[in-house]
Amino acid sequence: MTDYLHTDFHLNEGDIVRVTIDHQANVMLLDDLGYSNYQAGRQFRYHGGHYKVSPIDIVVPSAGHWHVVIDLGGYSGTIRHSISVIKR
């Protein structure tokens, strides 16, 4: 069982990923390398951060395959969420 939520998309530069959450969480946009490192517990780079309110808009920095991860930061529980993409 994973302790995070994951969705992936092919996105274009300038697209906006809009995430809504019902309580605080880490919301991250990662490229393939970043997601691989995240899964392996290694250091990784991402766009986003820790959010307490939503909606959260993250601008996609370049075209490609991107991963959206919602992580409760080690805490247990459930989170209601939605993820949408606003095309540029």
What pLDDT score does 75 carry?
Answer: 77
- The model's confidence at residue 76, banded by pLDDT at 50, 70 and 90, is confident
Residue 51: domain span: 4-86
How many folded domains does the chain comprise? Answer: 1
Provide the strand spans (E) within 1-88: 4-11, 16-21, 25-30, 47-51, 56-59, 64-71, 81-86
Alpha helices in the chain (DSSP H): 32-40
pLDDT single digits (tens) 13-65: 999 999 999 999 999 999 999 999 999 999 999 999 999 999 999 999 999 99
Is residue 1's pLDDT more than 60?
no
First vs last C-alpha separation in the chain = 35
Longest dimension (CA), the chain: 35
Q: Are strands 16-21 and 4-11 parallel, antiparallel or unpaired?
A: unpaired
What pLDDT score does 77 carry?
Answer: 81
